[in-house]
A and B are shown apart, each in its own frame.
Chain A
Amino acid sequence: RKEVEQDPGPFNVPEGATVAFNCTYSNSASQSFFWYRQDCRKEPKLLMSVYSSGNEDGRFTAQLNRASQYISLLIRDSKLSDSATYLCVPKYNQGGKLIFGQGTELSVKP
């Protein structure tokens, strides 16, 4: 089983739609979780951290379920500029090692 599993997509949605991405991780020792965003042919950039109680940043909402080892990202009112690949990233407690998922591709159409 892969350490991090994501639905690769692509998710093709119209502008204004709400879309949700799911991610499961296998290492129960993971303490911190993040969503990174990667635009086509660019480097990954941190989108948001994921806190135990769930957190929101504008149109983006992240949820964590430790019991099920499951993370989600919800994007409301999708914009064309949201088109990118979204990477689910658990972090091991020791050191700075991040484990990147394969990513979920999102394409927002006019």
Chain B
Amino acid sequence: DAGVIQSPRHEVTEMGQEVTLRCKPISGHNSLFWYRQTMMRGLELLIYFNNNVPIDDSGMPEDRFSAKMPNASFSTLKIQPSEPRDSAVYFCASSIAGGAETQYFGPGTRLLVL
């Protein structure tokens, strides 16, 4: 079975450009999470969805960040405009239900903003 799929795996862009990260959760999973990981701040939850509905976006750093989940099999995280401090690894994870113990992480997108 396919795990969580993320694309692109690597992204290098220039400051001010729009960046779109994509995620396909595991089929049948109802919850989807977006995380950001940096050396300084560790792994931070940005936003999570239950049944395609955003439940908690308190971790979204600012208005430049937005996330959507138009259907059960696809989600995007957009940064517009991007800044060098957005450089990080962005992980998408999914779980069977919002209260489920195990979250399955995708391989991550390594973003570098120059």
Contacts and interface: CB of A to CB of B under 8 A. Distances in A.
Interface of A: 32, 34, 42-46, 49, 87, 91, 95-103
Contacts of A103: 42-43
Interface of B: 31, 33, 35, 42-45, 48, 50, 55-56, 91, 95, 97-103, 105-108
B42 A97 contact: no
In terms of DSSP, what is the predominant structure of the interface of chain B? Answer: strand
B33 A43 contact: no
A34 B108 contact: no
B111 to A, nearest CB: 14
B99 A100 contact: no
A32 B95 CA distance: 15
B45 A97 contact: yes
Contact of A97 (B43, B48, B97): B48
Contacts of B108: 43
Contacts of A102: 42
Given A43-B108, A97-B56, 8 more contacts: A46-B101, A95-B48, A95-B99, A96-B95, A96-B99, A96-B100, A97-B45, A103-B43
A98 B105 contact: no
